[in-house]
Structure 1
Amino acid sequence: MNASIENVEVDCSKSGRHNYLFITVPIIYSIIFIVGIFGNSLVVIVIYCYMKMKTVASIFLMNLAIADLCFVITLPLWAAYTAMRYEWPFGSFLCKLASGAITLNLYTSVLLLTCLSIDRYRAIVHPMKSRIRRTMMFAKISCTAIWILACLASLPTYVFRRVILIKEENLTVCAFYYKSNETQKVLIGMAITKNVLGFFIPLLIILTSYIFIGKTLKSTFQRQRGKSRYDDILKMIVAIVLVFFFCWLPHQVFTFLDILIQLGHIKSCVVEDIVDSAMPITICIAYFNSCLNPFLYGFFGKNFRKHFLQLLKYIPPQIRTHASLNTKTSTLSYRPSDNNRALVRNPLKLNEHEEIHTGGT
């Protein structure tokens, strides 16, 4: 490990080092780890074993839970790192791996939520045009592409994150390191990419999708008895998206301020101390998103809540209620190979059945 340690000097070495951060942040990380592991594991089990991943939405939500799991398992390292006052004893490999998991989770989460919103837009606003392309295979290919793109976006983190020895304090930290202006430009580019690709562009796409979805639902179902079902479904997906962006917004703002510091536009150690002190708090808020999604599924999704109770009661997934009742209330009534005659009678019939199941995930 010593061979990979770089010796550096920093201008504001005391910035962001406060006793309250070394106590509260590890506690929050530990809570998020416990809740996130438990909640997301239940989501994976329920969707895979009980719901059988029969919808496009369930595939996206399954991958979202897996992405959260891949991230939260690294939180004990960060909790120990903060509790030891930013002393990293775990070596260069875990430094790169744990750091890359954070970036990977950010991009997979936001891209999956973006795809989920686009899928809901196509299913609700254009049900007839989208029924051919909205297949299980298309969803799996999309998720694979998202994971590949997220890995590529995370690659610079693996390259430039390393163990660094700060001479002034004889402290070994896990941080980004650059020796030249070219490398610094890469790191600044990474931060800008996080802001743009990891936040603002997905936010624009998702908001646009749900504006059209809301208008379609309001105009189509305001006189139908089943309107409340669509409201519940829309509330669940919108809640997941809003929680994600409100959790990540503070971190994105302070990431932008950190860009200004790296560019030299902000040279005050006081401002840098504010940014470095606030960054762990914003990271806690962002990480909290990884353990909130399972509760959103359970709160808004009737079918998910039903299968979750089955799991708690140790009821095997193969035990089901009567087939006709099950078709109406808990499973997907539409699959790519199903008969599409209902679409001729009612163009939104496909959307109705599928959305009922999506509310359960």
Structure 2
Amino acid sequence: MQNMSTHQIEVSCSKAGRHSYIFIAVPIIYSTIFIIGVFGNSLVVIVIYCYMKMKTVASIFLMNLAIADLCFVITLPLWAAFTAMHYNWPFGTFLCKLSAAAITLNLYTSVFLLTCLSIDRYIAIVHPMISRIRRTIMVGKIICISIWIVACLASLPAFIYRTVIPLKDNITVCAFYYPTNSSQAVLIGMNISKNVLGFVVPFLIILTSYTLIGKTLKATFHGQRGRTRNDDIFKMIVAIVLVFFFCWLPHQIFTFLDILNKLEIIANCQFEDLIDTGMPITICIAYFNSCLNPFLYGFFGRNFRKNFLQLLKNIPKFRTHTNLSTKMSTLSGRPSDPHTGSVKNTLPLNEREELHIGNT
């Protein structure tokens, strides 16, 4: 690491992943995710904290999920600038480490919270008697604290091994640096745990939970009046599973390919270019899940929508506009001309974030 600070490093495949369309498209997508993610998740936090008061286990999970997504999306402008400047990092070592750790932290907190939320819904719907005993607010808080602790521990290697590295083409990148075989083994282990603990195991649990929930709902509401309501719930469940799967699957595939590259099972510049080109695209897809979470788990909920409308009513400008519109609508419906009996209302009514550098 001392030699790295005084000498520039040469990368064997220096052109891998460096395509003009990556430097244009990825920053735009990152910026879009940042805007939508901050807006949507902030609304979820405000509504749950101010109106729903975190009175249920599900609301506690949703609150922590929104906070985890917020902690991540606020770092996206840095990665957008990093990519737009052709992978040149001007923000210093600390922000490099902190932003990298935030990515891993968000990955594990989001996935674990979604998994716990699916288990919570399974217990509440399939085993309602057990849920009265085990689904308590205290249990929910303890689970969330445990998830944050585990996620922080899992993000430590990213904070330790991610650093600012000078390259020979006069740019400075924020990347993983492993000067020894032991540090490279740690990074390979991080990718394997990302595949197994960050996707495969949680997805199997989520899929199993929602499959059993769907079967229970179908059996309970079969032939009853609530069938339409049940169909809506079932469609939302299917959407949750599909969105989680298709958002994270491409990134997990390229993470696995990156493992093969680090182990030199497949090691050539063409393969590395494939990884470095596809990784930022799959990262964009995976990170888009942070935008969809508020809509899937919040805005689709009837109770959340009710409290969201209550929030809008408490905004002075919105309330004034609403009252004015109501008065004008009422006024326009009154006959102002004795000959016509009515007046028509004429008022008009929205290079890959993870650049890995091998030992040279």
TM over 0.5: yes
Residue 207 (structure 1) aligns with: 207
Secondary structure of the equivalent of 1:131? helix
Secondary structure of the equivalent of 1:173? strand
Structure 1 contact 39–294 (Cα < 8 Å) conserved: yes
Structure 1 contact 235–300 (Cα < 8 Å) conserved: no
Shift of 1:10: 1.6
TM-score where L is the length of structure 2: 0.83
Structure 1, gaps ≥5 residues long: 317-361
Change (3 A) 1:201 1:314: same
Return the alpha-carbon distance in structure 2 between the equivalents of residues 93 and 221 of structure 1: 55
Shift of 1:215: 1.4
- Superimposed CA distance per residue, residues 270-319 of structure 1 (whole angstroms, 9 cap, x where no aligned partner): 11101101111111111111111222245522222222222223269xxx
Q: Percent sequence identity over matched residues?
A: 76
Shift of 1:237: 4.6
Q: How does 1:230-249 map to 2 (within 5 A)?
A: 230-249=230-249
1:273 aligns with 2:277: no
Return the alpha-carbon distance in structure 1 between the equivalents of residues 279 and 105 of structure 2: 19
Change (3 A) 1:201 1:119: same
Q: Which moved more, 1:102-111 or 1:206-215?
A: 206-215
Number of matched pairs: 314
Residue 346 (structure 1) aligns with: none
Structure 1 contact 29–75 (Cα < 8 Å) conserved: yes
Residue 67 (structure 1) aligns with: 68
Which letter maps to 1:121? Answer: Y
TM-score where L is the length of structure 1: 0.83
Secondary structure of the equivalent of 2:60? helix
Q: Pairwise CA RMSD of aligned residues?
A: 1.8
Return the alpha-carbon distance in structure 2 between the equivalents of residues 41 and 54 of structure 1: 19
Shift of 1:238: 4.3
Residue 17 (structure 1) aligns with: 18
Change (3 A) 1:142 1:67: same
Structure 1 contact 110–202 (Cα < 8 Å) conserved: yes
Q: How does 1:52-131 map to 2 (within 5 A)?
A: 52-131=53-132
1:44 aligns with 2:62: no
Structure 2 contact 207–241 (Cα < 8 Å) conserved: no
Structure 2 contact 261–267 (Cα < 8 Å) conserved: yes
1:184 aligns with 2:197: no
Return the alpha-carbon distance in structure 2 between the equivalents of residues 210 and 101 of structure 1: 29
Residue 36 (structure 2) aligns with: 35
Larger Cα-atom Rg: 2
Return the alpha-carbon distance in structure 1 between the equivalents of residues 55 and 142 of structure 2: 15
Return the alpha-carbon distance in structure 1 between the equivalents of residues 72 and 4 of structure 2: 24
Shift of 1:132: 0.7
Structure 1 contact 251–282 (Cα < 8 Å) conserved: yes
Secondary structure of the equivalent of 1:132? helix
Return the alpha-carbon distance in structure 2 between the equivalents of residues 265 and 4 of structure 1: 27
Change (3 A) 1:315 1:223: farther
Which letter maps to 2:21? Answer: Y
Shift of 1:125: 1.4
Secondary structure of the equivalent of 1:142? helix
Return the alpha-carbon distance in structure 2 between the equivalents of residues 160 and 233 of structure 1: 44
Q: How does 1:140-179 map to 2 (within 5 A)?
A: 140-167=141-168, 169-179=169-179
**Segments of 4+ moved more than 3 angstroms:** 2-7, 227-238
Return the alpha-carbon distance in structure 2 between the equivalents of residues 136 and 233 of structure 1: 24
Structure 1 contact 25–281 (Cα < 8 Å) conserved: yes
Return the alpha-carbon distance in structure 1 between the equivalents of residues 128 and 86 of structure 2: 54
Residue 334 (structure 2) aligns with: none
Return the alpha-carbon distance in structure 2 between the equivalents of residues 171 and 294 of structure 1: 38
Return the alpha-carbon distance in structure 1 between the equivalents of residues 48 and 78 of structure 2: 29
Structure 1 contact 4–162 (Cα < 8 Å) conserved: no
Return the alpha-carbon distance in structure 2 between the equivalents of residues 3 and 47 of structure 1: 50
